[in-house]
């Protein structure tokens, strides 16, 4: 599309249309020679007005060219953003139904995932510092059956998002403990 305007200067001439309707005639085969573009002396005043018209046309072309370039950059920017989102999806645990997470779901899931991992590490550190024998280990926690089927799309209460705790995945309606247990099933060898 940019090519449409790339050679606009080379195609233009000093002749400018008598009216708005004639604007396109400048680059046309009809305006074959530069001489044909030169107005007669009697039209000098009109020439000035035409000059202004040319500037307006040129400004419009420049604006359109910049817009098209900006559109292209914006498109690429969004593509890069989507690529990053896809990369994020790849490092997140896969879901049984294999349906692609939406953008918002991916971000929320990643948020929960990071929280679950950090929570797992915290619990592990806690366990390591204890000497009580009957305390359940993090591995035990991970081996515990999921109360809500972990990743199944069960309908349940959603936990409100609060500082320091992740928002529940709307799609899977996981509470934080559910999420931790569920995530543990994906990182069984973390210890």
Stretch that binds DNA, among 90-98, 102-110, 111-119, 183-191 (CB under 7 A): 102-110
Q: Could you tell me the end-to-end alpha-carbon distance of the chain, in angstroms, rounded to an integer?
A: 56
CB of 13 to DNA, least distance (A): 23
Residue 103 engages DNA in binding (rule: CB under 7 A) = yes
Calpha distance 189→191 (Å, rounded): 5
Closest to DNA by CB, 48 vs 103, is 103
* Phi and psi, residue 162, nearest 5°: -140, 160
* Contact residue for DNA among 6, 38, 59, 70 (CB under 7 A): 70
Stretch that binds DNA, among 10-18, 21-29, 64-72, 107-115 (CB under 7 A): 64-72
Closest to DNA by CB, 138 vs 166, is 166
In the stretch 33-62, what mask flags binding to DNA with x, by CB under 7 A? ------------------------------
Number of residues binding to DNA, judged by CB under 7 A: 17
SS3 162: strand
Calpha distance 112→18 (Å, rounded): 66
Q: What is the DSSP secondary structure assignment for residue 165, as one 8-state letter?
A: B
Calpha distance 47→54 (Å, rounded): 10
Helices and strands (DSSP H and E) totals, the chain: 7, 0
> Residue numbers of the site for DNA (CB under 7 A)?
66-75, 77-79, 82, 102-104
């Amino acid at each position: 599309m940019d090519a449409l305007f790339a050679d606009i200067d080379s195609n233009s001439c000093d002749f400018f249309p008598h009216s708005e309707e004639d604007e396109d005639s400048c680059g046309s085969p009809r305006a074959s020679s530069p001489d044909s573009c030169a107005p007669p002396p009697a039209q000098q005043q009109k020439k000035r007005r035409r000059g202004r018209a040319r500037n307006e046309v040129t400004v419009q072309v420049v604006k359109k060219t910049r817009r098209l370039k900006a559109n292209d950059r914006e498109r690429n920017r969004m593509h890069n953003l989507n690529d990053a989102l896809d990369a994020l999806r790849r490092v997140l645990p896969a879901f049984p139904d294999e349906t692609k997470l939406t953008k918002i779901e991916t971000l929320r899931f990643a948020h929960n995932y990071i929280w679950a991992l950090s929570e797992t590490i915290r619990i592990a550190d806690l366990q390591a510092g204890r000497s009580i024998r009957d305390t359940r280990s993090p591995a035990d926690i991970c081996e515990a059956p999921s109360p809500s089927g972990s990743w199944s799309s069960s309908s349940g209460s959603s936990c409100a998002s609060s500082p320091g705790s992740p928002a529940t995945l709307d799609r899977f309606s996981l509470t934080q403990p559910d999420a931790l247990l569920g995530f543990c099933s994906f990182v069984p060898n973390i210890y």
